[in-house]
A and B are shown apart, each in its own frame.
Chain A
Amino acid sequence: MITIENLSVAFDGTEVVKHVSLQLEDGEILGVVGESGSGKSVTALTLMGLAPAAAQVTSGRILYDDVVLQEAGRPCDKALYEKYQGARMSMVFQEPMTSLNPTKRVGGQVEEVLKLHTKLAKEESRSRVLETFAAVGLHDAEKVYASYPHQLSGGMRQRVMIAMAVILHPGLIVADEPTTALDVTIQNQIIALLQEINQKQKNAMLFITHDLNLAKRLCQKIAVMKDGCVVEYGTGEEIFGNPRQAYTKELIEAVPSRLKKRRILKAPSNMADEMNVGIPKAPSNMADEMNAGMPKASVNMAKRKITGTLHSAEQGSSILQVRNLSVFYQEGSNSLFSRNKKRCVVSGAEFDIYSGESLGLVGESGCGKTSLSKAILGMNRDIQGNIIHHSLRPQMIFQDPYSSLNPAKTIGWLLQEPLRAAGALDKSLAMTKADMETAAYDMLRRVGMGEKYFHRKPSQLSGGQRQRVSIAQALITNPGFIVADEPVSALDVTIQAQIMELLQQLQQEMKLSCLFISHDINVVYQMCDRIMIMKEGRIIEIGETEEIFHHPREEYTQLLLCNS
């Protein structure tokens, strides 16, 4: 039994975990739910004795059965922890891609646990590792044993991590977002595996997640954390049925779900009049540029007269036509002697995006979603087939708001950059400095941020604010069509909900068409009119959102739906 009593942890005097008390019985799974910065990971790391040196336990204590592992006012006892870690308590981390040592074979890495805590002979340890590999669902255990981490898929690596965690049947397993980095279908398998282990080995499990639904499905008890405090504690039913705190309610509501009502988007109106700030004023010669040096494919940026109302296209006219598109990927080799190999990552894609519509693109990692979007935006020119644009300069919103904004520039500068770029490409679009500034201020206001942010730098903004800036940057040239590549995946649920709402609102205001890429089918459900399912480079299903959700034709779509 694990007891955390009144635990507070501080970094440099700032408390990040405040008076947390939790209790874990053997065989019980306790879910700790919270957003980033809520203190859930620090709690887990402190429990495991893995917290950074700067973290200080300022009150309370941690008990494992009757042994005091940590206590306020006493430094972390490393020798004691080294006996417990791996043998009696173990941890599964979020990132299976980086959590294993890349230069050691995985068999050896798991075996190290035995080497450290048992006196088993070499052969015995080896067979014990192979047994455990088989038990966590790694087929061909011998082959896995001799593999390096990079030779295994994400799901397999997470199984290896789990094997490492359970091999000595520890009394406590801490799982820190163990499925967040995995594809949905794999996620479910890993959850099932953890559940099975918990039932078999009867160990206590601390399951950390940001996903309330997942916690409800898996855990007997849930603790909701916010700003270092446990704000709600109870069974899944209690918390979902009768949340006591406003924050818990907010959290439950923010989770995208297909049980909730969907906003219907298609409501075209001539809103464009007021959007003339920063609009390209003349047809561009982009089509000619794009065609240069592309013998195999023709990308047409239609030359359209732009008058007062931009994109006055009647409803139902397409803004993007993709015909029989295949995208290739150069297998990197800078040798003088071998010709570069080409791999086809998208084959035979064919679809339309209609004016004012948002089309969702769903698929697991590596299915070709991003390759397809890059081809559409002309960032990958190694293609076959036709991409016909009926909008000018489509823009993109990227996934990671932390690295996609230049940290050295101010928000105002970043917002004006697309206008400057457009002006540089086409003299007739050049704007005066004052006009650009006005446009930037206006856009900032539209994405719900005050003028005071104009002179700030990205590092001074939160994740949600940065993503607002990214959106503003994409929309400032009034592109008519945008590609949003997982725009909310890196954000906390409550922020995610706000950004989704903002996108929907802007889409209506600006009568924007959107290709919305996501791995999360629930997010797409709320955002999109139609959905396209992609698997292994092919579009396997495309249809109206409701239709796909209620009558999926393909087996794979059904799998995706029931796994999320």
Chain B
Amino acid sequence: MKYFGKKLITLIMTLFLVSVAAFLAFQVIPGDVVTSILGTEATPEREEQLREELGLNDPPAVRYFHWITGVLQGDLGVSYRYSKNMNEMMPVAELIGDKLPVTLWLAAVSLVFIVAVSIPLGVLWAGLSDAAHGRRGGMLARVGHILDAALGVVTQATMAVPSFFLGILVTYLLGIVLGLFAPGGYVSYQENFAGFLVYLIFPALSIAIPKIAMTSRFLRNSMLTELSADYVRTAYSKGTSKRRVMYGHVLRNAMMPVVTFLGMIVAEIVAGSIVVEQVFGLPGIGRLLISSISTRDFPVVEILILYITFVVIFVYFLVDILYRVIDPRISGT
């Protein structure tokens, strides 16, 4: 429990520092918000009025204070760029709240693909390489050698393909040639959740395929290292079959570095897959981030920075907990 308390305090302190940094950065960046909202044609009176409305005349410290207390109370500010209608400004919370589920569901579906495919693949692959080079030889050795090399080439190639190109390939092959889904036919989750999930499968594939290649390769290497450990020999000396040794003894120990790697991947996709969202026309966080940066919609960018920071720290916190679950040697202090 003490451990969680400590982690929580670290999280809060980091978020505080990042919020200050994010806020200050947009004070320093040149460019006038008011001009960018109203255009160059506006009267000075109108400009002054908006300035007052947005609180831009206060000193930075005061503005930071207003902003951060607002954020803490759930008021994330208003977007400079989007508006609800002619008279009402768009609250950032609403803007992000709309897009967040898209990104989170995309991340979830991708992660399911990654874990469900890469772990069995990694174990299988490690088994093949071990048969080819390892302790026990036999019939499998030659076949293992060929498959090992083949998997090496395939994963290498898959890792090297840029994700936008993979997105285009998926769209073309699965969407146009096979007609499994309608490219650009995004279904909003509010309207039809099942349809939304089905549509997500394809962008999720584009995200997952290179990550599957990396993760399975990583797991394979980690398992091969573990296979030369003394406890594996002990397991064999008990008369344990190879399959049992792989799944029962080696996998868990080999998962340690893989979990870190998966954490990095999760942080990356939860923060928004900019390119894939763009290619598949998904209204997610990644696209919002890009458009907000290019339109100087600083309130949105600031909140997104906080969101991404939070996601990264939180994912690493989860990885830390997983470590403790996997390896009893890591204690709570």
Contact = CB atoms under 8 A, between A and B. Distances in A.
Q: Which 10 A-B residue pairings sit nearest by Cβ, starting from the closest?
A: A53-B137, A85-B239, A86-B238, A86-B239, A98-B230, A101-B231, A148-B328, A91-B237, A82-B239, A99-B230
Interface stretch (A333-341, A418-426, A526-534): A333-341
A63 interface: no
Interface string A180-206: 000000000000000000000000000
Interface string A131-166: 000000000000000001010000000000100100
A91 B234 CA distance: 8
A86 B236 CA distance: 9
Given A91-B234, A95-B230, 15 more contacts: A52-B134, A53-B136, A54-B137, A78-B136, A93-B233, A93-B234, A99-B231, A101-B235, A101-B253, A102-B329, A104-B249, A104-B252, A112-B238, A116-B238, A338-B333
B17 interface: no
Interface string B1-21: 000001001100000000000
Contacts of A335: 6
A513 interface: no
Contacts of B252: 103-104
A495 B235 CA distance: 34
A255 to B, nearest CB: 27
A78 B238 contact: no
A481 interface: no
B237 A86 contact: yes
B6 A117 contact: no
A90 interface: yes
B138 interface: yes
Contacts of B141: 53
A78 to B, nearest CB: 6
A333 B241 CA distance: 41
B239 A116 contact: yes
Interface in A37-61: 48, 50, 52-54
Contacts of A87: 239
B133 A53 contact: yes
Contacts of A90: 237-238
Contacts of B133: 53
A263 interface: no
A337 B141 CA distance: 54
Given A87-B239, A93-B234, A116-B238, A75 B137 contact: yes
6 contacts: A50-B237, A85-B238, A99-B233, A100-B231, A103-B327, A112-B238
Contact of A101 (B9, B137, B249, B326): B249
A102 B89 CA distance: 58
Interface in B96-151: 133-138, 141
Nearest to B228: A52
Nearest to B236: A50
A117 B333 contact: no
A207 interface: no
Interface in B177-226: none
Interface string A54-88: 10000000000000000000011010011111110
A533 to B, nearest CB: 32
Contacts of A102: 231, 253, 327-329
Contacts of B333: 333, 338
Contacts of B169: none
A83 B138 contact: no
Contacts of B321: none
A254 interface: no
Contacts of A50: 135, 233, 236-237
Q: Which of A76, A87, A90, A101 has the most CB of B within 10 A?
A: A101
Contact of A53 (B134, B231, B239): B134
Interface residues of B, number: 31
A230 to B, nearest CB: 24
Contacts of B237: 48, 50, 85-86, 90-91, 93
Nearest to B136: A53
Interface in A336-358: 336-338
Contacts of B135: 50, 52-53
Interface of A: 48, 50, 52-54, 75-76, 78, 81-87, 90-91, 93, 95, 98-104, 112-113, 116-117, 148, 150, 161, 164, 333, 335-338
A84 B237 CA distance: 9
B328 A83 contact: no
A95 B233 CA distance: 11
A374 B230 CA distance: 31
A395 to B, nearest CB: 34
Interface of B: 6, 9-10, 133-138, 141, 229-231, 233-241, 248-249, 252-253, 326-329, 333
A217 B253 CA distance: 40
Contact of B234 (A52, A99, A117): A99
Nearest to A164: B238
A145 to B, nearest CB: 14
Contacts of B234: 91, 93, 99-101, 161, 164
B233 A103 contact: no
B299 to A, nearest CB: 31
Contact of B239 (A81, A98, A333, A336): A81
Contacts of B235: 101, 112
A8 B136 CA distance: 18
Contacts of B238: 85-86, 90, 112-113, 116, 164
Contacts of B326: 103
Contacts of A52: 134-135
A93 B239 contact: no
Contacts of A101: 231, 234-235, 249, 253
Given A53-B135, A53-B136, A76-B136, A93 B230 contact: yes
A413 to B, nearest CB: 31
A81 B242 CA distance: 12
Nearest to A116: B239
B230 A337 contact: no
Given A50-B236, A53-B137, A103-B328, A82 B241 contact: yes
Nearest to B3: A335
A81 B234 CA distance: 14
A75 B138 CA distance: 7
Contacts of B249: 101, 104
B258 to A, nearest CB: 14
A150 B327 CA distance: 11
Contacts of B134: 52-53
Contacts of A85: 236-239
A98 B328 CA distance: 15
Contacts of A93: 230, 233-234, 237
A37 B328 CA distance: 36
Given A50-B233, A102-B253, A78 B138 contact: yes
A98 B240 contact: no
A292 B140 CA distance: 64
Nearest to B7: A335
A523 B258 CA distance: 46
A208 B235 CA distance: 20
A161 to B, nearest CB: 7
A90 B239 CA distance: 9
A289 to B, nearest CB: 35
Contacts of A117: 239
Q: Name the residue in B136, B138, B239 with the highest tally of chain A Cβ atoms < 10 Å from its Cβ.
A: B239
A341 B330 CA distance: 18
B324 to A, nearest CB: 11
Contacts of A48: 237
A10 B103 CA distance: 58
A168 to B, nearest CB: 10
Given A93-B234, A103-B327, A337 B6 contact: yes
